[in-house]
Amino acid sequence: MRTLPSALSWTSVLGLLAFVSTDARAQLNTWLLRAGSGEVRSIDFSGGNPVLGNLVPSFGLGGTEDVNLMTTATGNPLFYTAVGSNNKVQVRTASFTVMPNGNGLISNASSQCSAIAPRPCHGPQYYVIHHDGANHEHYYSIVDMTLNGGQGDVTVKNKFIGSDLGEGMAVSRQLENGCRWLFCYSIDGDVLYLKRALISQSGIGEPVTIGSTHAPNGTAWYSTLKLSPANDRLGISLPNAVQPGAVDVAIWHLDAFNGTVSGVQQLSLSTDPVVGIEFSPAGGFLYFVGNSALPDMDFGRINLLTSEVEVIDPAIGPWVLSMECAANGRLYVGTSGFPRTLAEVRYPDATGLAAVGYDRNAVVFLSLGFMPVLPNAIEGEPPGTTSTPAYADFLVEELPGCEGHRFISKACLGSDLQWDFGDGWTDQRAQPTHRYGVGTFDVTLTLTSCGQEVSLTQPGIITVEGIQPVAGFETADSICQHAAVQFTNTSELASAYRWWFGDGGTSTAVDPWHTYHQHGMRTATLVAVEGCIVDTARKTVKVLPAAIASFHTNSDPCDERTYLVNTSIDGADWYWDFGDGETSAHWRDPMHVYQQMGAFDVVLVSDPGTMCADTARATLLAGYGLIPVAWFVPNAFTPNQDGVNDVLCIKGPEECASPEMTIHNKWGQQVWEGDAASGWDGMVGGAAAPEGVYAYVLKGRRDDMKHGWFVLAR
């Protein structure tokens, strides 16, 4: 371990060649600073030297880590966040008042950090990405600065991002296509998996693995993940490496636009358990700090070009975790001695320890339990300085075999995608595939980016050579719904065929038949194939409305009325012939009364008078139940016990039930009631009824009634 000289020499000043960096301005001018006792204060770097602000009462009280904020491009705070002892993040306005909906963001009192990123296409809205260290889960919430009188409020809370994720996270600067990446990690045994999730206008996507590294001494959920200000490297600490020569940090080269990493580099830095890391503003050095209960933890750096390790402070104190570069170009790290301080490296990119300008007592905080925890800034971009670009771009991949080409949009903010493949075909999918005929083709992608239509044409991007088949077919211009129609193939130089009939139906037959079950205009398409070369023919077919006519009746022959039930499939108009000389037009489900009994040939015509008319026929038995038709009523009877015509019986068809009958004298008084088939024997109250004229009333099953007169004679 080396100690740092207390003053700079003129010789060492020559090492200050790289300490001025435009990337330093990407960091925040205003911070929140948390003490181990849960206190939160603001700290201002706008004047160069840090100025400690007042204590914020009750903000984050009981939490030990995770404070954050978002500022404007000029460094003015927009809002603050901090986790408290209730394992929830609270969001406060620039004046430190709690937002109306600012409580209850899921976290953990000892989660290492959170992240804040602007929401693309949504102006003054921000994603707050927070971590639950107890369950190893990431969530995000949304702050809208147009609400609460311009002071902001939380509109969406606790949207799940993913599980089995560690505490460290980093947010990239805005990409050329307008989106950002959230970088995070998961662990499995002694393997750490680096992951990315897309930050877009619609939310934060599912984390996917982009790289991995082996940690021989074991992985940890509390590793720190940092992104270089130039967004060209990602580094992660491996806290369990405490043996000489053990790997303390893994660093990947990063392709920020594509979100891919390569060439992992494993570094050995210290025999202490390294947790906190931070890139210098120009990216030439990686700073590190040990973390344990012991006071003699190393604070140092490694030259990423020469791999030389330099220890700046060999005893910075126990439980040191976070480091950040500020907008003044300096790096800050907490110490845990007495007094508790915020140490400063004035020139983090200076060559040689003598030139870095280390001040252990840059900020002194005379309060119990000072363990600084610092905000997690967006690396490489000043907050509030970017606008969402109107961007369109795409890649083309030639697929193996005869699968054609795949088109991939690189505009992550794009919606309502419309591809024009240059051969008459279009598509609206995000990553369509397409097969071409012989020729050279321009491809155009049109999309909507944050409400603005953007279009990109790549001329001559596709060239296909080979034998060109010629597709062609014939079929009727107009056909009827539900009717089978043949498609006659007239193609040339093709060995295989693929048909799309415009209603979801497909075929690979040479001359297929197809039935359309929905009316309307349909475009039939034939793709003729020879090898990997295709040609396309299309024809619009008019499918006319038509029915499959059918019907039945729920009535039996003994019903007075016959109810006809139309069971046709589709159809718009109807014509009925009831088979007894009567007809009906337009009624879908008519009722008919047959005036005689018998078998009737009933005909239903759907859509009469059109080319798509259909006919259904059925023979129905009817008329047996109508009393005036099917029932014989005598006009006299002689109840004289001579065995002839002694009972007044009114008989109908044997298969039908007899109606009820009542008998009335000439004054209208009812003298008998009973079944008409059994009849009246001329007795009233046990005595013979007098001769004369009587009336009868018949009542059928459906309240059909018939009445008349008869003579009783003895």
Tokens of 205: 């996507």
Cα 93 to Cα 147: distance, rounded to the nearest angstrom: 11
Please choose, from the candidates 376, 369, 359, the residue with its C-alpha nearest in 3D space to the C-alpha of residue 323: 376
Handedness of CA 22, 24, 28, 29 (dihedral sign): negative
* CA angle, 48 then 54 then 60, to 5°: 110
Three-state SS letters, 133-174: CCCCEEEEEEEECCCCCCCCEEEEEEEEEEECCCCCCEECCC
pLDDT at 282: 93
pLDDT at 6: 30
- Please state whether the peptide bond connecting residue 339 to the residue before it is cis, i.e. omega within 30 degrees of 0: yes
pLDDT at 159: 98
Q: How far is CA 545 from CA 290, 550, 612, in A?
A: 79, 16, 7
Kindly tell me the burial class for residue 579, based on how many C-beta atoms sit within 10 Å of its own C-beta (0-12, 13-18, 19 or more). Answer: buried
Query: Global pTM?
Result: 0.69
pLDDT at 630: 63
How many Cβ atoms are within 10 Å of 178's Cβ, its own excluded? Answer: 22
Tokens of 455: 């279009």
Residues with Cβ within 8 Å of residue 258, at least 6 apart in sequence: none
How many Cβ atoms are within 10 Å of 22's Cβ, its own excluded? Answer: 11
3-state secondary structure of 72: coil
Tokens of 129: 């990405």
Please choose, from the candidates 408, 409, 413, 410, the residue with its C-alpha nearest in 3D space to the C-alpha of residue 389: 413
Domains with residue ranges and CATH for the chain:
10-364 (2.130.10.10), 394-464 (2.60.40.10), 473-540 (2.60.40.10), 551-622 (2.60.40.10), 631-712 (2.60.40)
3-state secondary structure of 382: coil
- Give me the residue label for tokens 């984390």: 207
Kindly tell me the burial class for residue 424, based on how many C-beta atoms sit within 10 Å of its own C-beta (0-12, 13-18, 19 or more). Answer: exposed
Which regions in the chain score pLDDT beneath 50?
1-22, 367-372
Q: How far is CA 137 from CA 105, 142, 167, 370, in A?
A: 13, 17, 9, 28
3-state secondary structure of 355: helix
Residues with Cβ within 8 Å of residue 338, at least 6 apart in sequence: none
pLDDT at 433: 96
Ramachandran angles phi, psi of 353, nearest 5°: -60, -35
pLDDT at 370: 37
pLDDT at 156: 97
Ramachandran angles phi, psi of 497, nearest 5°: -140, 145
Question: Taking a C-beta distance cutoff of 8 angstroms, is the pair 19, 329 a contact?
Answer: yes
pLDDT at 196: 98
Say which DSSP state 689 is in.
P
Question: Taking a C-beta distance cutoff of 8 angstroms, is the pair 460, 444 a contact?
Answer: no
Cα 67 to Cα 395: distance, rounded to the nearest angstrom: 41
* Cα 625 to the center of its chain, rounded Å: 63
pLDDT at 597: 82
The helices-and-strands tally (H runs, E runs) of the chain is: 2, 58
Query: Quick one: what percent of the chain has pLDDT higher than 90?
Result: 67
Say which DSSP state 570 is in.
S
pLDDT at 21: 41
Question: Taking a C-beta distance cutoff of 8 angstroms, is the pair 538, 561 a contact?
Answer: no
Q: Give the containing element (helix H, strand E) for 12.
A: helix 10-13
Tens-place pLDDT, residues 262-320: 999 999 999 999 999 999 999 999 999 999 888 899 999 999 999 999 999 999 988 88
